[in-house]
A and B are shown apart, each in its own frame.
Chain A
Amino acid sequence: MPRISRSRPWRALSLFILAAVPLSLFANGPPPRTETAFVTGLQGAAFRSFIDRMDRSAPGRDLRVMAVPLILPYEVIPNRLVVAGAIPYLDKELVLSQGGQRRRLGDSGFGDLTVKAKYQILQRDRPRRTTRLSLLASLKLPTGEDDERSEDGSLLPPSLQLGTGSVDYAGGAVITALRQRWGINGDLIYRVNTSDDGFRFGDKLQLDAALAFRASPRIYGTYPSPQLNLFLELNGVRSGRNRAGGTDIAASGGTSLFIAPGIQYMIGRTFLVEASLQLPVAENLHGDQLEADHSLRMGIRWLIF
């Protein structure tokens, strides 16, 4: 069967998948969507998972992605180096509506495995305050299916595949500053994507910032105690154009800025639940692409080591 041409809907989807799924994999610590520089505690010993529902749409096209990443970190060098493995279970569906006809395309299964390392390079502690800086690096391996076809035999577009088929790299830095009940986290991560079968997703620059506030308890006495945290995050993504057959795809790439209020409840030392709703603030996408509607994330972290 002929390969489906990567025409505009597919190109548009590419940006979204590329942006959303790695974001999920990167986020392995409080706050919900922004990295933290810590390499100890929950960051080094807690299994994390969440369900993330992401919606994007354009006239006649609706995309829904459900992602359930499974993230397991391990503190290799105490208070210095953490490595983590992450693999998402994905459920993607694209609904195309034209002339009263609806066509659904989709796939589900495990996506690409990402191995990530976080190395703390700076720690400044004072009474009831701390500032930390860490470097990040990650490697995404092509473990997910990237050649699935629809029932009519057509190859699904890259953005609906579970994996990209490529080995991709990312590196960046993250800073965390905590002052009593307040905290600020920021990360800057650049992702380099390689090509597979003549197609390459555009590189991506990710910039996140999160303001955190411990709403309860006002005075934290004996550890562990139940704790309620509130977050307000800004998530920015700038993606380069995808390339197919050595040519840039016009309707791909662009810049998006999101705002994401979140809430987190720590039940005790071993378990927390969290939720975050991400909404688009501004999008400047090249050409005709699907625009972000929202992303709702609900998850858990469970201390197992």
Chain B
Amino acid sequence: MPTTSRSQPGLTASRIFLLLLAMTVITGTATPGAEPTGPAAGDSSRVRVKVDGLTCPFCAHGLEKNLKKIPGVMDLEILVDEGTATLTYAPDHTIDFDTIRKAVRRGGFTPTTIHATLTGTLVTAGDDLALRLNDPPEVIFLAGGVELNRLRAGATDGERVTISGEIQDRNTEGKGAPSYALTVDEFSAADAAH
């Protein structure tokens, strides 16, 4: 309404803003993001993706939102200054590294290297070495890495190991072959470190 006499100028606008402020403080601080659930029993896998451009916490929410949408991710840690996002997968989920890269891009950033820690069963076939992730069945080749030769030297077919290394794209010709390889930077037996 137009006025010609105003004893408390600005009161209405102030009240509206204060009301909004109160509402958002109450609801905003009470909004729980998807909180980490902690590791479940079994062989959970961890994937750390290096994220370029991650300089602004105010935009990291987009990254968090998209990574948490990935099926099987039960825990997520984003280190802003380090520029990494670490995903912990439930034991019964396949890890799709393309999906991780797409999620990072959708979140507004550029994925670079992916480092994974996977537990599975060693599979040997001639000079080739692979890791079978048991549930669901999935095979990832092992190629390169400072510990590959040491692992190969002592490898026993069917042995359960945990391997940490970098995910590398693998050109495959045939269908059904894994499209990634894992370098062997560290490994340990199921219960004892080498």
Bound together: yes
A38 to B14: give the CA distance in the assembly, Å.
30
A residues 62-81 touching B (CB-CB < 8 Å): 64, 66-68, 70, 75, 78-79
What are the residues of chain B within 8 A of A107 when measuring CB–CB? 1-3
The answer to whether B33 touches A270, judged by C-beta atoms less than 8 angstroms apart, is yes
Query: Which of the residues A93, A103, A223 comes within 8 Å of B9, measured between beta carbons?
Result: A93
Q: How far is the CB of A93 from chain B (nearest CB, A)?
A: 5
A residues 246-277 touching B (CB-CB < 8 Å): 266-272
A267 to B108: give the CA distance in the assembly, Å.
22
B residues 1-21 touching A (CB-CB < 8 Å): 1-6, 9-10, 12-14, 16-17, 20-21
Known: A38-B59, A179-B55, A223-B60. A66 touches B10 (CB 8 A): yes
The answer to whether A49 touches B17, judged by C-beta atoms less than 8 angstroms apart, is yes
Among the 9-residue stretches A8-16, A119-127, A283-291, the one with 4 or more Cβ atoms under 8 Å from chain B is: A119-127
Number of interface residues of A (CB under 8 A): 70
Q: Closest residue of chain A to B32, judged by CB?
A: A270
The answer to whether B4 touches A225, judged by C-beta atoms less than 8 angstroms apart, is no
Chain B 35-75, CB-CB to A under 8 Å as 1, else 0, gives 00000000000000010111111111111111000000000
A221 to B60: give the CA distance in the assembly, Å.
12
The answer to whether A79 touches B4, judged by C-beta atoms less than 8 angstroms apart, is no
A179 to B55: give the CA distance in the assembly, Å.
7
Chain A: interface secondary structure? Answer: strand
Query: Which of the residues A66, A90, A123, A148 comes within 8 Å of B53, measured between beta carbons?
Result: A123
Known: A42-B58, A125-B53, A127-B52. A78 touches B66 (CB 8 A): yes
Among the 9-residue stretches A136-144, A150-158, A198-206, A233-241, the one with 4 or more Cβ atoms under 8 Å from chain B is: A150-158
B residues 69-119 touching A (CB-CB < 8 Å): 77-83, 105-110
B24 interface hit (Cβ, 8 Å): yes
Query: Which of the residues B16, B25, B52 comes within 8 Å of A125, measured between beta carbons?
Result: B52
What are the residues of chain B within 8 A of A221 when measuring CB–CB? 79-82
A70 to B31: give the CA distance in the assembly, Å.
20
A163 interface hit (Cβ, 8 Å): no
Q: How far is the CB of A30 from chain B (nearest CB, A)?
A: 5
The answer to whether B2 touches A156, judged by C-beta atoms less than 8 angstroms apart, is yes
**Known contacts A39-B108, A42-B61, A104-B4; 19 further A-B pairs (Cβ under 8 A):** A38-B108, A40-B62, A41-B60, A41-B61, A44-B62, A51-B17, A68-B16, A89-B12, A106-B3, A123-B110, A126-B52, A129-B53, A156-B2, A180-B55, A183-B55, A222-B79, A225-B57, A267-B28, A302-B24
Interface positions of B (Cβ within 8 A of A): 1-6, 9-10, 12-14, 16-17, 20-21, 24-25, 27-29, 31, 33, 50, 52-66, 77-83, 105-110
A-B contact pairs, 16 of them (CB 8 A): A41-B62, A50-B17, A66-B10, A66-B13, A79-B62, A79-B106, A79-B107, A106-B3, A107-B2, A125-B52, A126-B52, A129-B55, A223-B57, A223-B78, A224-B57, A272-B58
Interface positions of A (Cβ within 8 A of B): 29-30, 38-45, 47, 49-51, 53, 64, 66-68, 70, 75, 78-79, 89-91, 93, 103-109, 123-130, 148-152, 156, 178-180, 183, 219-225, 227, 266-272, 300, 302-303
